[in-house]
Structure 1
């Protein structure tokens, strides 16, 4: 099996290996430059390396840090967290993984020129920059762009980040400039997945300048001011996103598709958002390029998922800054700001402190005891648990994915979701729940007739609290009683990491699709993290047709757990 950046990594950048197999480099001080600094680790060194932190606190930069390739930056290892202010991080070479960083440029007199003071950017004109994943970071208070890809980078994933409160009337020479994310200048194969954009006035994101193969999936955009998702040409999939108009939003459709450079082909499905623009006639009924991301959460579950997972979460806890921003979304009282001082400033600052690492191999003694490695022997390159990854990767990833626990679900109420639907003009691709002559609807798996092998089981993460479950060969059927039409069928199920199950979907005796359940969604449990959807496109169904599920569970390690079948009409027409 091809190794990916970390368990659960998705999108075009998921194949990045970063510094795997390279040196362990420690950031030992909070200085702008010099040996032991973050700049030294990222800019001065260029061999494969995994960067960890022996200190926590705030690093005030005078100029941007240019990140050389073949590196994994693990901000989650900093005791008490690490915050970078004053200037941006800029990825200028390939094969980079960045996780667990708080990037908050701010409006100080010192630091990088205002017109370039981003949080983080990927790409550089004249250089090949590819295979980059930016995951589980908190990025806010930029003067130019919070985030961007520019200079024709490709194979980049932005996932599970909190991208918020870009500064509006600040120091930018162009004036008002609160911008969330810029995708431009020929960027290609860019995945934007599961991010929370909150209180950025524009570019949440913007796609322009001939950028192609852009996936915009399962994001939440809150209080988007003048623009949420703005597209000018190129090719795009916008699937399962939630747009929430806050007090600063201007009432325009949150998804706008306009004429621009490039291919101009769009697939837009299952978004809680109205759609408009002068290029809506370029929307297609199926994918317009080969997708990289296929594990997609239904839009009705996205808000709860994203507010429970976006940003830097270590051992189930967020920083006070991130928690405040999350609360503004849940309480619907966020606002666009001109300065970080308006919301309390840099509360993330902590006193410098160290953690005990007796053998100086980058893994603290306490964690070495957990995984069975030797705290007195430098063995970070070994594989104590036999999972195919070195001990150092098990450590840095577990801080965010394994031993760390996401906060308890916010349990976003159905009334709140209904309010979003009403405010946005409806659900789906055109602000209406109706598509063609048929409506979207759901058949719960537990309502199927069990032919053999399956049983109904309780599961709190399931849509109605129940699933069809099978440990061995199984079969269940139902008679279609909806309106005849052409539908995309989304099979919602639970795909854990500890086994491989298999499912076939049949219609009137003909197999429509079959697949093995073998994704890496980051958990060995059937929970919200492993609930996923497989979509079968453009299926013609008539009332009275028989739908049959036939599959094989992986015994006790990963049984089949089928939640529901979502039927969405394929023949979408836009007003």
Structure 2
């Protein structure tokens, strides 16, 4: 594990230094924009960049981009927005992609096993992202937007391009291409490496918005184009461009490319959506039969959606959405949803366009690089990439915060470091309350309330609310969240003679007016007081709530759940810590104890939820 601790171009603690050695997982203890003096080049094998670990707003590269010249590389949740600023003395131009791969030596020996996931790439002076002459490659769930139309490129022509995409067993899925003048994308085919028998590209479930020149290329390649969503925008001038899926021509000696095209949705053109080949423009001298195939080419298996479902999911989830989306991506998504661009420069001017076109020459046209604030990073005493609180939770919420081996494999085949990285939620997501319990202490006149949340965060305020009738609640205590804690407690002085109800309220520091509440719990009166004599039914109910428990905890093979007497419709649900339901059970009616087999669950922490009429009770248990 290597922690990036600063935003310097180079030197100890910088991202450039982090990628200088292989066999590293790179995590971030800071957020912000790194203004580069030259591209960052990954030249060592077996590197993972986990941008989602940055605390606060995330990481962005500016001035130059990221080059991948190695094998077994994963880049996740990173922004690269180079822009048109020239930093090298004496230079008057620069041709910069936001992210790209280098060619192998020779080109027929490509770099392989590369994944680019949930990245946000824009403001390039050439292509936003070009990946071709590469093998076993995936670009997924990324946003490629606003390549600069007339910026600092050495050629005195427009270069607002999306990208050149290709490779041997390459997969491009669930990406958004928005507001590029051309190459949306350009399929590389075999024009560079002359290996047509090896060139297989799968292009599916992508969203393409606001193009002028669309998708073309693919000479000497095999391309699947499946279930993509095409939505023309203000720069997509003319009916022929709006309905076009692919333009194909071939003036080379290389054999024709082959295309399997199906399931694509062309917004506003039902005929092309029904028959995709009506949206294919073939040059003179090329026959349809020479490029069309009716059977898909072999490709990496993914969860393929309909084009319309992919449109929704891409807009909701693509790009550097962890730790949270920046203002650029939020604006781009809104433009796709509305079909209306916010900005446009006058250099792009074509007949039939609508202003603003969405085609820009400079990042400053749209406000420049947004500020990405940083927040504290959780304590990690052994610097193994696993925060202390997370290790303690794996050990059953003990004080042992250093004994989990980050490189050990869990039963699901992932290392514990991977499991931690893969479970990080958005920093702007509402915290999830996973358990609340209460009991009387100090002779009964003090009530102690304990509650747990799903993820340590310092972006929230918690409040304790009290009620005597379970209807009207009053705020009696407050506590700020802590980046190193998932367990909290309140103590409240209240008469032992009365039943009292409590619930927890949670609000973001940036929005204290919006409060999310837990379910309420009831704390019974002390036995022998006057309250018990006048409220026997209520006391019974509160006792049932307070006897809710799971044992043994931790457990290996089965757990016993003590709960209130089950009624018709009662359920016990087990979820993982992200809220995904793993199993559900229906306790026997009138029974107050259930035994559940957990032998098939992997080791880890789980949330158990018991629902009985209007009562919901939660607790966490640990599977050894």
Instruction: Settle same-fold status: TM greater than 0.5.
Output: yes
d(CA) in 1 for partners of 2:177, 2:92: 24
Distance 1:382 1:349, change over 3 A: closer
Distance 1:232 1:50, change over 3 A: same
Show the counterpart of 1:182: 164
Which among 122, 143, 163 is matched to residue 101 of structure 2? 122
Indicate whether 1:244 and 2:231 are aligned: yes
Indicate whether 1:320 and 2:310 are aligned: no
Show the counterpart of 1:147: 129
Indicate whether 1:160 and 2:141 are aligned: yes
Q: Superposition pairs for residues 280-299 of structure 1, below 5 Å? A: 280-281=288-289, 282-287=291-296, 289-299=297-307
Q: Following TM superposition, by how much is the alpha carbon of 1:149 offset from its aligned partner in structure 2, in angstroms? A: 1.6
User: Which SS does the other structure have where 2:113 is aligned?
Assistant: strand
Query: How does the TM-score come out when normalised to structure 2?
Result: 0.57
d(CA) in 2 for partners of 1:229, 1:319: 31
Show the counterpart of 1:198: 178
User: Which SS does the other structure have where 1:236 is aligned?
Assistant: strand
Q: Following TM superposition, by how much is the alpha carbon of 1:354 offset from its aligned partner in structure 2, in angstroms? A: 4.1
Q: Following TM superposition, by how much is the alpha carbon of 1:226 offset from its aligned partner in structure 2, in angstroms? A: 2.0
User: Which SS does the other structure have where 1:284 is aligned?
Assistant: coil
Q: Following TM superposition, by how much is the alpha carbon of 1:257 offset from its aligned partner in structure 2, in angstroms? A: 4.1
Q: Following TM superposition, by how much is the alpha carbon of 1:314 offset from its aligned partner in structure 2, in angstroms? A: 2.6
Task: Report if aligned partners of 1:162, 1:310 keep a CA contact under 8 Å in 2.
Answer: yes
User: Which SS does the other structure have where 1:199 is aligned?
Assistant: strand
Task: Report if aligned partners of 2:201, 2:299 keep a CA contact under 8 Å in 1.
Answer: no
Distance 1:118 1:313, change over 3 A: same
Task: Report if aligned partners of 2:45, 2:72 keep a CA contact under 8 Å in 1.
Answer: yes
Q: Superposition pairs for residues 38-437 of structure 1, below 5 Å? A: 38-42=15-19, 44-46=20-22, 48-67=23-42, 68-80=44-56, 81-110=58-87, 114-126=93-105, 128-150=110-132, 152-174=133-155, 175-183=157-165, 187-210=167-190, 212-228=199-215, 230-251=217-238, 252=241, 253-260=243-250, 261-262=254-255, 264-273=257-266, 274=272, 275-278=279-282, 279=286, 280-281=288-289, 282-287=291-296, 289-314=297-322, 317-334=324-341, 335-351=358-374, 354-372=377-395, 376-377=401-402, 379-381=404-406, 383=408, 386-399=411-424
Distance 1:368 1:385, change over 3 A: same
d(CA) in 1 for partners of 2:98, 2:92: 13
Structure showing greater relative contact order (alpha-carbon pairs closer than 8 Å, 6 or more residues apart): 1
Q: Deviations over 1:178-203 (max 9, x none)?
A: 1112125xx32211100011111111
Output the aligned Cα RMSD: 3.0
Task: Report if aligned partners of 2:189, 2:222 keep a CA contact under 8 Å in 1.
Answer: no
Q: Deviations over 1:415-453 (max 9, x none)?
A: xxxxxxxxxxxxxxxxxxxxxxxxxxxxxxxxxxxxxxx
d(CA) in 1 for partners of 2:171, 2:409: 33
Q: Following TM superposition, by how much is the alpha carbon of 1:34 offset from its aligned partner in structure 2, in angstroms? A: 1.4
The runs of 5 or more residues in structure 1 that have no matched partner are 1-23, 407-521, 527-555, 558-575
Higher deviation after alignment, 385-394 or 32-41? 385-394
d(CA) in 2 for partners of 1:393, 1:403: 22
Q: Deviations over 1:522-547 (max 9, x none)?
A: 99559xxxxxxxxxxxxxxxxxxxxx
Show the counterpart of 2:605: none
User: Which SS does the other structure have where 2:233 is aligned?
Assistant: coil
Q: Deviations over 1:283-330 (max 9, x none)?
A: 11111x322235310123221121011112236x42222111111111
Q: Superposition pairs for residues 27-38 of structure 1, below 5 Å? A: 27-38=4-15
Task: Report if aligned partners of 2:219, 2:256 keep a CA contact under 8 Å in 1.
Answer: no
The runs of 5 or more residues in structure 2 that have no matched partner are 191-195, 267-271, 273-278, 342-357, 432-577, 583-599, 602-624
Name the count of aligned residue pairs.
Answer: 383
Task: Report if aligned partners of 1:314, 1:400 keep a CA contact under 8 Å in 2.
Answer: yes
Query: How does the TM-score come out when normalised to structure 1?
Result: 0.62
Task: Report if aligned partners of 1:83, 1:348 keep a CA contact under 8 Å in 2.
Answer: no
d(CA) in 2 for partners of 1:262, 1:157: 25
d(CA) in 1 for partners of 2:153, 2:407: 48
Distance 1:348 1:197, change over 3 A: farther
- The structure that has the greater radius of gyration is 2
d(CA) in 2 for partners of 1:149, 1:167: 19
d(CA) in 1 for partners of 2:147, 2:125: 6
User: Which SS does the other structure have where 1:180 is aligned?
Assistant: coil
Task: Report if aligned partners of 1:240, 1:270 keep a CA contact under 8 Å in 2.
Answer: yes
User: Which SS does the other structure have where 2:17 is aligned?
Assistant: helix
Show the counterpart of 1:438: none
Higher deviation after alignment, 274-283 or 141-150? 274-283
d(CA) in 1 for partners of 2:371, 2:3: 21
Distance 1:525 1:217, change over 3 A: farther
Show the counterpart of 2:468: none
